[in-house]
Structure 1
Amino acid sequence: MTTASCVAFYLCRYGLDRTVMSVYATFTVVSLGALARIPGSGRQRAATTLTAVPAGLALITLGTLLAVQTWAAVLGMLVIGFLVAYAGTTGPRIAGAAPGMQLLYILPCFPPYAPQALDQRLLGFVLGAVLLALAQRFLLPEPATPPLRLLLADAADAAAALADHRGGPAAAPVLSRARAAADALRPSRVPPADQPASPTLRHKAMAHAAEAVRTLLARLDALHTAAGAHSAYRPETVVLLEAIGAAARGAAGALRQGRRLRPGEGPSAAALEEELGPVRSHRALDSLERLGADDRLVYVRRRSLVVQAADAAVVLVLASRLLLGDRTVNRDPAGHSFAYARARPTELWWRRLTAHLTPRSVIFQNACRFALGLAAARAVAGLLDLQHGFWVLLATLTLTRTTSLETRSAVRQALIGTLAGAVLAGGLLALVHDRPPVYAVLLPLVMLLAFTAGPLRGLAWAQGGFTLVVAVLFAQVSPVTWQLAPVRLEDVLAGSLIGLACGLVAWPRGAGPEVRRSMAAVCSAVAEGIGRTTGRVLDRTGTAGERDDGGAGILAINRALLLAQESWAQYQSEPQNRNGPQPDWPAVLVAGADARRGERLLPGRPGRITPYEVGDWLRRAAGDTAADYRALAAHLCADHAAPDAPPRPPDLRALLAVAPPVPRHGPDREARAVSAALLLDSVIWLDALATDLARIHREM
Structure 2
Amino acid sequence: MAGGPVGAALRRARYLLEHTGRGLRGHRTVVGNAVRVTAASCAAFYLCRYGLDLTVMSVYATFTVVSLGVLARIPGSGRQRAATTLTAIPAGLALITLGTLLAVRTWAAVVGMLVIGFLVAYAGTTGPRIAGAAPGMQLLYILPCFPPYAPDTLGQRLSGFALGAVLLALAQRFLLPEPDTPPFRRLLADASDAAATLADHHGGAPPLQALDRAHTAADALRPSRVPPADMPASPTLAHKAMGHAAEAVRTLLSRLDALHTSAGPHTAYHPDTVVLLQGIAATARAASHALRQGRRLRPGEGPSAEPLQSELAPVRTHRAVTTLERLSTDDRLRYLRRRALVVQAADSAVVLVLATRLLFGDRSVHRDPAGHSFAYARARAPALWWRRLTTHFTPRSVIFQNACRFALGLATARAIAGVLDLQHGFWVLLATLTLTRTTSLETWSAVRQALIGTLIGAAVAGGLLALVDNRDTVYALVLPLVMLLAFIAGPLRGLAWAQGGFTLVVATLFAQVSPVTWQLAPVRLEDVLTGSLIGLACGLVAWPRGAGREVRRSMAALCSAIADAIGQTTARVVERTGSTDILAINRALVLAQECLAQYQSEPREETARQPDWPAVLGAGADARHGERLLPGRPGRITHQEVGAWLRRAAGNTAADYRALARHLRTDDAPPQERRPQPLDIRGLLAVAPPLARGSPDGDVHALSAALLIDSVIWLDALTADLTRIREEM
In the superposition, the TM-score normalised over structure 1's length comes to 0.98
Of residues 58, 64, 73, the one that matches 1:22 is: 58
Find the aligned partners of 2:512 and 2:497 in 1 and give their Cα distance: 23
Partner of 2:115: 79
Q: Provide the residue aligned with 1:656 in structure 2.
A: 685
2:331 to 288, 295, 298: 295
* Aligned partner of 2:531 among 495, 503, 506: 495
Compute the displacement of 1:670 (Å).
2.0
The one of 517, 521, 524 aligned to 2:553: 517
Query: What amino acid does structure 2 have at the position aligned with 1:589?
Result: L
Match of residue 594 from structure 2: 566
After superposition, the C-alpha distances for 1:567-616 in whole angstroms (9 at most, x for unaligned) are 00000000123433211100111111101100111111111113110000
Deviation per CA, 1:634-679: give whole Å up to 9, x if none. 0000024631243232111111111111123222222211111110
Q: Is the 8 A contact 2:206 2:265 kept in 1?
A: no
Q: Among 705, 708, 714, which residue is 1:676 paired with?
A: 705
* Cα distance in 2 for residues equivalent to 1:363 and 1:568: 12
Contact kept, 8 Å, 1:149 with 1:255, in 2: the verdict is yes
SS of the residue aligned with 1:233? Answer: coil
| 8 Å contact kept, 1:624–1:648 | no
**Structure 2 residue identity aligned to 1:655:** L
Tell me whether 1:308 sits opposite 2:337 in the alignment: no
Asked whether the 8 Å contact 1:361–1:567 carries over to 2, the reply is: yes
Instruction: Compute the displacement of 1:423 (Å).
Output: 0.3
Q: 1:151: how far off?
A: 0.4
Aligned to 2:584: 556
Equivalent residue, structure 1, for 2:653: 625
Cα deviation, 1:383-432, whole Å, max 9, x if unaligned, reads 00000000000000000000000000000000000000000000000000
In structure 2, what is the Cα distance between the partners aligned to 1:177 and 1:636?
Answer: 39
Q: Does the CA-based 8 Å contact 1:223-1:229 persist in structure 2? A: no
Counterpart of 2:512 in 1: which secondary structure?
A: coil
The equivalent position to 2:459 in structure 1, one of 392, 398, 423, is 423
Task: Please give the per-residue CA displacement for 1:309-355, whole angstroms capped at 9, x wherever unaligned.
Answer: 00000000000010111111011111101000000110000000001
Whole-angstrom distance in 2 between the partners of 1:170 and 1:252 = 24
Please state whether the residue corresponding to 1:143 is helix, strand or coil: coil
Within a 5 Å distance, the mapping from 1:194-213 to structure 2 comes to: 194-213=230-249
Aligned pair partner of 1:582 in 610, 633, 644? 610
Cα distance in 2 for residues equivalent to 1:642 and 1:238: 47
Work out whether residues 106 and 418 of structure 2, in 8 Å CA contact, stay in contact via their aligned partners in 1. Answer: yes
Equivalent AA in structure 1 for residue 184 of structure 2: L
CA-CA distance at 1:214 after TM superposition? 0.2
Among 27, 35, 40, the alignment partner of 1:4 is 40
Distance 2:706 2:233 in 1: 35
Residue 447 of structure 2 corresponds to residue 411 of structure 1: yes
Post-superposition offset of 1:19: 0.4
Correspondences of 1:577-656 after superposition (within 5 Å):
577-640=605-668, 642-645=670-673, 646-656=675-685
User: 1:71–1:379: 8 Å Cα contact kept in structure 2?
Assistant: yes
Alpha-carbon spacing, 1:286–1:263, altered in 2? closer, same or farther (3 Å): same
Would you say 1:482 and 2:518 are equivalent positions?
yes
Residue 216 of structure 1, aligned match among 252, 255, 258: 252
Aligned residue identity for 1:194: D
Does the 8 A contact of 1:219 with 1:308 survive in 2? yes
Letter in 2 for 1:454: G
Residue 377 of structure 1, CA deviation:
0.2
Alignment partner for residue 400 of structure 1, among 430, 436, 448?
436
What is the rounded CA distance, in whole Å, between the counterparts of 2:376 and 2:93 in structure 1?
Answer: 34
Q: Superposed, which structure 2 residues align to 1:202-601 within 5 Å?
A: 202-228=238-264, 230-540=266-576, 553-601=581-629
Residue aligning to 2:27: none
- Deviations, residues 66-87 of structure 1 (Å, cap 9, x unaligned): 0000000000000000000000
Question: 2:672 & 2:253 partners in 1: Cα distance?
Answer: 36
Q: Distance in 2 between matches of 1:345 and 1:57?
A: 25
In the alignment, the residues of structure 2 paired with residue 484 and residue 578 of structure 1 have an alpha-carbon distance, to the nearest angstrom, of: 42
The equivalent of 2:8 in structure 1 is none
Amino acid at match of 2:220: A
Deviation of 1:229 (Å) = 6.3
* Residue of structure 1 in register with 2:28 after alignment: none
Kindly provide the CA deviation profile for residues 510-568 of structure 1, in whole angstroms up to 9, marking residues without a partner as x: 0010000000010000000000000000112xxxxxx88x5x61110000000000000
The answer on whether the counterparts of 1:625 and 1:648 sit within 8 Å (CA) in structure 2 is: no
8 Å CA contact retained: 1:426, 1:484: yes
Deviation at 1:290, TM superposition (A): 1.4
**Further displaced range: 160-169 or 680-689:** 160-169
Provide the C-alpha distance between the structure 1 equivalents of 2:221 and 2:452, rounded to a whole number of angstroms: 42
Deviation (angstroms), 1:109: 0.2
Q: Is the 8 A contact 2:76 2:228 kept in 1?
A: yes
Range with greater deviation from structure 2 (227-236 or 72-81): 227-236
Q: Which whole-Å CA distance do the structure 2 matches of 1:271 and 1:169 have between them? A: 28
- Scaled by the length of structure 2, the TM-score of the pair is 0.94
- Counterparts of 1:434 and 1:147 in 2: how far apart (Å)? 51
Whether the 8 Å CA contact 1:369–1:506 is kept in 2: the answer is yes
Gaps of 5+ in 1: 541-546
Taking the aligned partners of 1:230 and 1:604, their CA distance within structure 2 comes to 37
The residue type paired with residue 649 of structure 1 is P
1:698 aligns with 2:727: yes
Instruction: State the alpha-carbon separation in 2 of the partners of residues 169 and 607 from structure 1.
Output: 37
Q: Match of 1:495, SS? A: helix
Q: Are the aligned partners of 1:632 and 1:642 in contact in 2 as well (CA < 8 Å)?
A: no
1:401 aligned counterpart, secondary structure: coil
Q: Structure 1 residues 357 and 229 mapped into 2: Cα distance closer, same or farther (>3 Å)?
A: farther
Comparing 289-298 with 521-530, greater Cα deviation is found at 289-298
- 1:475 is paired with a residue whose SS is helix
Deviations 1:427-484 (A, max 9, x none): 0000000100000000000000110000000000000000000000000000000000
Question: How far apart are the structure 1 equivalents of 2:264 and 2:581?
Answer: 38
Worse-matched range after superposition: 47-56 or 288-297:
288-297
Measure, in 1, the Cα distance between the counterparts of 2:263 and 2:44: 67
Query: Which residues of structure 2 form unaligned runs of 5+?
Result: 1-36
RMSD of Structure 2 on Structure 1 (CA): 1.0
Q: After superposition, give the CA deviation of every residue in 1:65-114 in whole Å (9 maximum; x if it has no partner).
A: 00000000000000000000000000100000000000000000000000
Deviations 1:221-277 (A, max 9, x none): 111110446311122211111111111010000000001113442100001010100
Percent identity of paired positions between Structure 1 and Structure 2: 80
1:264-296 per-residue CA deviation (whole Å, 9 max, x = no partner) reads 421000010101000001111111111111111
Q: Return structure 1 stretches of 4+ with deviation > 4 angstroms.
A: none
Kindly indicate whether the alpha-carbon contact (under 8 Å) linking 1:40 and 1:193 is maintained by their aligned counterparts in 2.
Answer: yes
For the 8 Å contact 2:241–2:359, the answer to whether it is kept is: yes
- 1:578 and 1:608 map into 2 onto residues whose CA distance is 52
**Aligned-partner SS, 1:476:** helix
For residue 316 of structure 1, what is the amino acid of its counterpart? L
SS in 2 for 1:108: coil
Question: d(CA) in 2 for partners of 1:632 and 1:604?
Answer: 29
Matches within 5 A, 1:34-49: 34-49=70-85
